[in-house]
Amino acid sequence: MRRREVAELSGSVSLGVWAAFAVLAAVAVGGRGAPLELDQDVLVWAVGHRPSAALALARGVTATGTGALPYALAAVAAMVAGRTPQQRLAAAAFGLACLGGGQAVRYAVMELAHRPRPPLADWATHASGWAFPSGHSTTSALTAGLLIVAVSLRAPRGATALRLLIGCWGAMVGLSRAYLGVHWFTDVAGGWLFATAWLSACLWAAARWLPSLSFTAPDTSSNTEEGSCAPRS
């Protein structure tokens, strides 16, 4: 895709998802942050379905959504997306700024929302801070988005299975937070929406003002055509 196309698409997606996030935030935070019926239903189901093996798996998955790992994966995305040292450096700076900036803005929104977490008695892991939007869900979704963009630039017509695997990881981290009882489901959904809107806004800004970033996949068709037109001996 050309830069202008990337900017138009990502800008449109960002505006639409920000609007959806604003609606969800108003619903979730309204009524002093009281849980919705869906939130209650998900929590009741989660508390009633916690065998030891599933708990261990959920705790392992949720641990991948915080700390140094998301930043390391953002660096990996830069290595995949860039085709020259300069492009990799620019992609790394973009990815880390997108991830770090998203964390800062998300934290500010969380402080403004002041939504309480589910009851402490239902927690199956440690958590701190306010609930909306979920930090683990936001971080993992942002990281997954950066990886999917990188893979799509490198292999636009392939690697579908890899993109699905990355997306499933991002989703599972968020779902693990609701399963472990430290977030309402709408906190998780808010994290997903926030991450999508923020990443789209970052891509829009990069397409407009960061010429060092490449938004086109390598074109191998010219080599194929040259090979097909080469004279035979």
| Model confidence pLDDT, tens digit, residues 58-91 | 999 999 999 999 999 998 988 888 778 888 888 8
Q: Where are the alpha helices (DSSP H) in 114-180?
A: 135-154, 160-179
Please compute, for residue 216, the number of CA atoms within 13 A of its CA located in the half-sphere on the CB side: 10
Rounded Cα–Cα distance for residues 25 and 113 (Å): 8
pLDDT of residue 212: 59
Rounded Cα–Cα distance for residues 41 and 36 (Å): 9
CATH annotation of 3-209: 1.20.144
- Report how far Cα 87 is from the mean position of its chain's Cα atoms: 22
pLDDT of residue 48: 95
pLDDT of residue 88: 85
Token pair, residue 115, equals 């939504």
- The residue type found at 233 is S
Spans of the chain below 50 pLDDT? 220-233
Q: How many CB atoms lie within 10 A of CB 82?
A: 21
Domain ranges of the chain: 3-209
**How many Å is the Cα radius of gyration of the chain?**
20
Rounded Cα–Cα distance for residues 83 and 90 (Å): 11
- The residue type found at 135 is G
pTM of the model as a whole: 0.88
